[in-house]
Amino acid sequence: MFAYEKRLQFPVKIKNTNPDTARLIMSQYGGPDGELSASMRYLSQRYSMPVKEVGGLLTDIGTEELNHMEIICAMVYQLTRNLSEADVKRAGFDAYYIDHTKGIWPQAAAGVPFTSLEFQSKGDPITDLFENLAAEQKARTVYDNLLRVIDDPDVVAPLKFLRAREIVHFQRFGEALEMTKEKLDCKNFYHCNASFDKIGKK
């Protein structure tokens, strides 16, 4: 079960209102490679992982992604909390404002709503771990893209933190892949799906 701890994993303390930045960062909440997608991906996949330790890792990383989702939402909230009428008329945030006012809602930077089509739970441990390795790289690229266009140090500090997490998670999923491979036939990793077929268990 999940229990709330009343703090953010990384502190978010943004002084300056900036709806344009908010709209970009929002992509890491509800966008294709966002934290919501990441968390749902790992927490969904863990049930069909044949190696217990890998299910444990997916639980721990999936939980951490929930923390990251909360950090992103806190950033969007703080970037827009003192929004003026003039701010919402400016191109960039106006369309979002019409539908959500200052409410936080998961969508991509380009306005596409969050959808579970952004992630996969394939029920094959090799396939799912490769999905996760790719997902961490995609999220890292998004953080690179954000860091290239955002200068406010209050915003950069949590983005830098979140980017670094993607690399650590990539490493751990790589190690999880090695742990899974150890349980499979090394002459042919594709002989069966260890999560479905009852043959080939070591």
Partner 1 sequence: MDAINQCTCAGHLAMATVPKQEWCEPYDCEIALTEGTIFPCLNLTFYKAPANQKKLKSCSSLSNKDERDREEMMTELSAISFMLNDLTLYLDTHPDCPNGTPLFHELLAKRLELLSEFAERFYPLTHLSMVTGEFDENRYGWSEGPMPWEGACI
Interaction between residue 102 and partner 1 (CB under 8 A): no
Interaction between residue 69 and partner 1 (CB under 8 A): no
Give the integer Cα–Cα distance in Å for 157 and 159.
Answer: 5
**What is the DSSP secondary-structure string of 84-99?**
-HHHHHSTTTHHHHHH
Task: Identify the H or E element spanning 139.
Answer: helix 125-149
Contact letters for partner 1, residues 106-145 (x by CB under 8 A): ------------------------x--x---------xx-
Interaction between residue 1 and partner 1 (CB under 8 A): no
Which residue number, 8 or 192, has a Cβ lying nearer to partner 1? 8
Interaction between residue 52 and partner 1 (CB under 8 A): no
Which range, of 22-30, 69-77, 83-91, 112-120, touches partner 1 by CB under 8 A? 69-77
Residues lying near partner 1 in the complex (CB under 8 A)? 3-15, 53, 56-57, 60-61, 64, 70, 73-74, 77-78, 130, 133, 143-144, 147-148, 153, 156-157, 159-165, 167-179, 181, 186-187, 189-190
